[in-house]
Amino acid sequence: MNVEAIILAAVVVGAVGLFIGVFLGISGKKFAVEADPREESILGVLPGNNCGGCGYAGCSGLAAAIVKGEAEVGACPVGGAPVAEQIGQIMGVDASVKERMTAFVKCGGTCEKAKTEYEYYGIKDCVMASQMQDGGAKGCAYGCLGYGTCVKACPFDAIHIVDGIAVVDKEACKACGKCVAACPKHLIELIPYKQRTFVQCNSNEKGKALMDVCQVGCIGCRLCEKNCEAEAIKVENFLAHIDADKCTNCGECAEKCPRKIIKV
């Protein structure tokens, strides 16, 4: 064994390592991008859920956007007013908080109310089930399949399957939108938290066709529309829609609905 060769190799490796270390150190200082200290402060205030409800990939993305002026200080739906106020203090601006929202499932077709066409024995996942014949075993092609894909997507345990359909706990919901994105039937939407009147249906089937598969679905009879003094409800494509900005939550539409699919 050549001891000199071993020593030489060690010296060369050490010298190369030292050179690389010095080079990286100098490069790091020369090309360093100074971070705005406010970004780190905002990140420390944000809840850290990284839910994406703000429209950014995570809390760090939102913090950077706020510092750049690309997002409002009240953009975090999870933190709400308290976090918005703290971020406002960091940024030196008045906190502007978006109206609180909550998720809502547009289906009232429970196991008792909705017809089932066949037994589904596949993976208990709504996306998988929706690929089956007629968009799933449920008679209504627009209805909730009830396999809990939205439940798995919710990071706040705010949505559960009750009697075959997804139901949102509006107090626990942070309006992050993950359940909205997860539902293959596009049954979930975000609505104002203060809104109390809902049309619990998403079907565009004509009256007779819908009545054959669901006992409570909207048949587009327009009685709700005709009796709404605020003109807050319209029927389009055989389905009633409520304009939350106009709705006074008077309950008249729910009282007149023959299918009792409008909830107050």
Please indicate, yes or no, whether residues 158 and 199 belong to a single structural domain of this protein: no
Q: Is residue 29 part of a domain?
A: no
Please indicate, yes or no, whether residues 157 and 237 belong to a single structural domain of this protein: no
pLDDT of residue 34: 61
Task: Give the whole-angstrom CA distance, residue 8 versus residue 6.
Answer: 5
Residue 62 contacts residue 78 (beta carbons within 8 Å) = no
Please indicate, yes or no, whether residues 76 and 108 belong to a single structural domain of this protein: no
Q: Answer with the residue of higher pLDDT: 137 or 8.
A: 137
Of 178, 194, 210, the one marking the end of a domain is 194
CATH value at residue 52: 1.10.15.40
Token digits of residue 98: 């978006």
Sign of CA dihedral 113, 103, 197, 202: negative
Q: Is the pLDDT of residue 187 over 80?
A: yes
Please indicate, yes or no, whether residues 214 and 183 belong to a single structural domain of this protein: no
pLDDT of residue 227: 95
Give tens-digit pLDDT for 109-146.
999 999 999 999 999 999 999 999 999 999 999 999 99
Please indicate, yes or no, whether residues 83 and 131 belong to a single structural domain of this protein: no
CATH value at residue 163: 3.30.70.20
Give tens-digit pLDDT for 32-87.
556 688 889 988 989 888 888 888 888 988 989 989 888 888 888 888 888 888 98
Q: How far is CA 104 from CA 8, 152, 187, 199, 255, in A?
A: 72, 16, 8, 10, 21
Q: Is residue 14 part of a domain?
A: no
Task: Give the whole-angstrom CA distance, residue 53 versus residue 187.
Answer: 18
Token digits of residue 250: 């008077």
Residue 166 contacts residue 159 (beta carbons within 8 Å) = yes
Residues of the domain holding 106: 100-194
pLDDT of residue 17: 73
Q: What percent of the chain has pLDDT over 70?
A: 92
pLDDT of residue 259: 94
Query: How many domains, the chain?
Result: 3
Mean pLDDT of 165-186: 95
Token digits of residue 217: 């679905």
Task: Give the whole-angstrom CA distance, residue 213 versus residue 141.
Answer: 9
Q: Is residue 1 part of a domain?
A: no
Give tens-digit pLDDT for 87-113.
889 888 887 667 889 999 999 999 999
Please indicate, yes or no, whether residues 83 and 152 belong to a single structural domain of this protein: no
Reported for 46-49, long-range contacts at CB under 8 A and 24+ positions apart, including other chains, are: 46/76, 46/79, 46/83, 46/87, 47/76, 47/78, 47/79, 47/83, 49/78, 49/155, 49/156, 49/174, 49/176
Lowest mean pLDDT of 40-54, 151-165, 171-185, name the range. 40-54
